[in-house]
Structure 1
Amino acid sequence: MNKKFKIQELEYHFPYHHLPHLDNQDNVVNYRSLAWGYKYFCYLLHCKKIIESLRANSVLDVGCGEGRFLGLLGKEVPKKIGVDLSKRAIGFAKAFHPEIEFFPKDASEIEEKFDIVTAIEVLEHIPDEEVSDFFTKLAARTNEQGKILISVPSTVKPVSAKHYRHYNQELFENQLQAANIPFEIEKVEYVYREPKWLKFYIKLTNNKFGSLQVKYFNNLIWKYIQKNLCISDVEHGEELIVLLKRQQ
């Protein structure tokens, strides 16, 4: 492998040719942005921290999407498997994380059992009449000492068009009880709050007219968020994270 090829190969940690794209009027746009990126990484990194603290040897991520969460776990978790009903999402997952096993399957089609089964931002996408069955599938894939880790958007934020519901602890507990699985809540945490000044900053730098990214300020804001805003409370937390353990 020659030097120039190595330089090019390193560029493919992300498909950078897809950053510029054509809009609906065939105009070239040179950037893509995600306004809720701060919240996204707050709850992903918090879930990662929980799994690392449990020293799990195996994780099954149900509804894994393009595999971003499992990719964050790294070598600390020897066995990682992701499943998702979207073949397109699994295609991205395999491309971005070839070292991890991904399958376009329902969780019930996996025979193995795992130390931790995760559902990161999945439960809100499940129709009401299928929620109990979804809990049952998670429980069935968890080994005798295993745990279930779930993150969902909280009722602090309005329900988006692609979600069936957002959660408070009472709703979560009611659905868990209705599912009648041998698991109980071990820990409930609220993640990420967004003060007015941060909302203004995000709207100012990411809107329909364009995106303004100043690396120095972005780094300062992210450090502040990590220290002061990632961990929140029931009144302000935009994400609800629940760890379940088997009933004794």
Structure 2
Amino acid sequence: MSDKVQDFQDEEYCFPYHYVSEMPRKGGFVQHFVDTWGMNYISTIEYVLERLQEVDSSSIVDVGCGDGRLAREMALNFPDKYIAGIDYSSRAIALARAMNQDLKGVVFHSLDITSESHERKYDVAVLMEVFEHIPPEDSARFLEGLCSLLTPDGILLLTVPHSNKPVEYKHYRHFSCDCISEIFSKHFDVIEVRPFERSGLIRKFLEVILCNRFFVLNNRRLSGFIYKIQKKYLFECDEKRCQRIFVKARLKSL
């Protein structure tokens, strides 16, 4: 096989596409996978990236990085910065490494920050949809471990689900703006708390258009148009109608 042909094949492996189609043993053939939270997730990544541009930093750590998608986008958008992803799950880290072998600007570590130390400190830590996965009885140790990752006056960017949303099966708790501020104020000076992701019938309608039991919208122009609508009209909102919260904070001086 020529190098050129092999290069074409290698480019296909930026995503495990062979795993999308399911064997019919589950009752029927399926050749697509739909992330019903995808629009919310991508718009949050974009928002976090925008807020990172405001912070003067040379290093960023994605705590609770999972499969590494946010860390990947940070590496692509900030090639001059040192980017790391940390997660308790060794399986998640293995997947993050596999999905990001094409990038040299990001590293991943399997680490339990509640009980293990890390040799490096970072100017910025990002916790995107992570803190709700921490058992309340472990939150104090988790926050101490988080602080140990940051340089003096290090910045934290955080998103969590709001208590307007019912607690999901994977989560321990959701938060109000006052609640999340109180939890983090012991170790951080809270600079900004912003509710976002407006709930309501319009969002539900857009989500149904994107995917339902009869079809999945694959037209890029139409799906892109729907995405722009929700970014423009349904992202910013007040706490009464929000589904999630963004927090910006600075590590307190010792």
How does the TM-score come out when normalised to structure 1?
Answer: 0.90
Q: Which residue of 2 aligns with 1:101?
A: 107
Q: Which residue of 1 aligns with 2:161?
A: 153
Q: Structure 1 stretches (4+) deviating beyond 4 angstroms? A: none
CA distance in 1, matches of 2:4, 2:45: 35
TM alignment of 1:232-247, pairs within 5 A: 232-247=237-252
CA distance in 1, matches of 2:7, 2:27: 34
Report the 3-state secondary structure (helix = DSSP H, G, I; strand = E; otherwise coil) of the residue aligned with 1:211: coil
Q: Which residue of 1 aligns with 2:151?
A: 143
Letter in 1 for 2:56: R
% identical aligned pairs: 28
TM alignment of 1:1-248, pairs within 5 A: 2-22=3-23, 25-73=26-74, 74=76, 76=78, 77-98=80-101, 99=104, 100-107=106-113, 108-177=116-185, 180-181=186-187, 183-247=188-252
CA distance in 1, matches of 2:206, 2:45: 22
- State the shift of 1:118 in Å: 1.6
Distance 1:222 1:205, change over 3 A: closer
CA RMSD of the aligned region, Å? 1.9
- State the shift of 1:153 in Å: 0.8
The runs of 5 or more residues in structure 1 that have no matched partner are: none
Asked if structure 2 preserves the Cα contact closer than 8 Å seen for 1:43 and 1:191, the reply is no
How does the TM-score come out when normalised to structure 2?
Answer: 0.88
Distance 1:243 1:24, change over 3 A: farther
Distance 1:55 1:12, change over 3 A: farther
- State the shift of 1:78 in Å: 1.7
Larger mean CA deviation between 201-210 and 166-175 belongs to: 201-210
CA distance in 1, matches of 2:233, 2:209: 21
The runs of 5 or more residues in structure 2 that have no matched partner are: none
- State the shift of 1:112 in Å: 1.3
Deviations 1:21-51 (A, max 9, x none): 1366253210000111111112111111111
- State the shift of 1:204 in Å: 4.7
CA distance in 1, matches of 2:172, 2:129: 12
